[in-house]
């Protein structure tokens, strides 16, 4: 297949390029090599970005319609990964996040509808963030609590509760859980899913929205201070700096290794599914941020102290992990990398990378100044 990968120079994209090349696909990448992600260029670890590589690389912004037309020429399938990805940052760069994530996706669908009808399959990088809080059980029913109230968070009451203050039981989040984005980033991802469904129904194009959980692994951006707790923690741990764990450390996420995500995307590209589908992609297990930090500390032999500060950010959720039943059924997807294996691969790689100036405190200060976070530090 001739496949266009937008954002193909990024973390997930770079893995996907390698994997699809090995499988014999013909790859075009469009990516603007955003400095927040890539820092100084050229990137020595991305040989396929250099001239003479078998990948057609277009360094351009996805909002540039002429460049998108060039990228889409003769393409049969698109994996749309390019996006701004900082949840916290999206809360004040609202128009920019809308522009890059949502408007550019609308333009992509319009380009396919009007000028590139040979495109038969689109995979959209969606996100677990569209759910807002994960799913819980209340009185034997699936229950999705509202966004957490800032006054409760300030009092250190972090667990979501039922409408009458009831205790909730965390369960795996299925795709039919009511979406409730808690950030601008998440709202753009949900809007893209809606666009994808409408587009698929109107034009018969197969559109698959994959709701990634927290993706981690070798080659994730160590520079972006707005996203990726493993990057932020490992960078600080390698400098012996204390680790500020938000809330009480018992918040949990579903950490999925990038190679599993790439397998899910590949299955979605290669399978004839027809129509529109939205599927969870994760490891299917919750891990607390404290557990993750402790495991990282062990593997990196770090002397950093782990401090739970009670800091929090507007738009952050307490828990969410994926129900993978539908992904198993529709794609035959099964995560293969355990957290232990994935983390040790990540740590081995991270130790080959330069230690960077830590900018996470500055990122938190920006949020606090805007009243979107609560930092005591
Ligand atoms: N990594 C995760 O945990 C995660 C979780 C859920 C969803 N996702 C989604 O998966 C996709 C890929 O994520 P990633 O972790 O590889 O991110 P990444 O930041 O590493 O990669 C994104 C790539 O897009 C490029 N890009 C950004 N803006 C662009 C623009 N205007 N024009 C052209 N290129 C642009 C960047 O240069 C970068 O190479 C994103 O859509 C993200 O929202 C990621």
Ligand 1, from 5, 6, 11, 103: best to mutate by most atoms within 8 Å of Cβ? 11
| pLDDT for residue 377 | 40
Whether 13 is in the pocket of ligand 1, judged by its Cβ within 6 Å, is: yes
Question: 210 near 268, Cβ under 8 Å?
Answer: yes
| pLDDT for residue 96 | 98
| pLDDT for residue 315 | 66
Give residue 10 CA to ligand 1 midpoint distance, Å: 6
Question: 5 near 28, Cβ under 8 Å?
Answer: yes
Give residue 84 CA to ligand 1 midpoint distance, Å: 6
| pLDDT for residue 52 | 65
> What 8-state DSSP symbol labels residue 223?
S
Whether 282 is in the pocket of ligand 1, judged by its Cβ within 6 Å, is: no
Question: 230 near 244, Cβ under 8 Å?
Answer: no
Return the closest-CA partner of residue 125 out of 230, 64, 196: 196
Whether 34 is in the pocket of ligand 1, judged by its Cβ within 6 Å, is: yes
Q: How many domains is the chain built from?
A: 1
* Cα-only R_g, the chain: 20
Low-confidence ranges of the chain (pLDDT < 50): 376-377
| pLDDT for residue 227 | 65
Report the CATH number at residue 153. Answer: 3.40.50.720
Pairing of strands 373-374, 312-313: antiparallel
- Domain span at residue 234? 2-374
User: In the numeric block, which tokens belong to residue 35?
Assistant: 């400095």
């Amino acid at each position: 297949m001739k496949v266009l990968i937008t954002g193909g120079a990024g973390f997930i994209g770079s893995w996907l390029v390698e994997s699809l090349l090995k499988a014999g696909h013909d790859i075009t990448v469009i990516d603007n090599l955003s400095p927040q992600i890539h820092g100084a260029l050229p990137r020595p670890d991305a040989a396929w970005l250099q001239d003479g590589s078998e990948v057609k690389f277009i360094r351009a912004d996805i909002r540039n319609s002429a460049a998108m037309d060039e990228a889409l020429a003769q393409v049969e399938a698109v994996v749309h990964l390019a996006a701004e990805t900082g949840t916290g940052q999206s809360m004040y760069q609202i128009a920019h996040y809308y522009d890059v994530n949502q408007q550019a996706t609308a333009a992509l669908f319009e380009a396919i509808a009007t000028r590139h009808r040979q495109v038969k399959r689109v995979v959209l990088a969606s996100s677990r963030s569209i759910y807002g809080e994960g799913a819980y059980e209340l009185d034997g029913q699936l229950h999705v609590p509202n966004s957490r109230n800032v006054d409760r968070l300030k009092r250190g009451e972090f667990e979501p509760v039922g409408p009458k203050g009831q205790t909730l039981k965390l369960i795996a989040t299925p795709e039919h859980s009511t979406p409730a984005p808690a950030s601008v980033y998440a709202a753009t991802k949900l809007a893209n899913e809606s666009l994808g469904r409408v587009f698929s129904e109107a034009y018969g194009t197969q559109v698959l929205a994959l709701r990634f959980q927290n993706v981690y692994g070798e080659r994730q951006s160590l520079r972006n201070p707005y996203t990726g707790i493993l990057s932020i923690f490992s960078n600080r741990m390698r400098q012996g700096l204390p680790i500020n764990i938000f809330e009480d450390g018992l918040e949990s996420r579903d950490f999925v290794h990038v190679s599993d995500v790439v397998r899910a995307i590949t299955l979605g590209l290669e399978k004839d599914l027809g129509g529109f589908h939205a599927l969870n992609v994760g490891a299917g297990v919750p891990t607390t941020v404290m557990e993750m930090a402790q495991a990282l500390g062990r593997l990196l032999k770090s002397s950093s102290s782990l401090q739970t500060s009670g800091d929090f950010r507007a738009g952050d959720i307490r828990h969410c992990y994926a129900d993978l039943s539908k992904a198993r059924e529709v794609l035959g997807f099964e995560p293969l990398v355990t957290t232990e294996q994935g983390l040790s691969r990540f740590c081995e790689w991270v130790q080959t990378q330069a230690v960077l100036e830590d900018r996470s405190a500055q990122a938190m200060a920006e949020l606090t100044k805007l009243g979107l976070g609560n930092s005591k530090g």
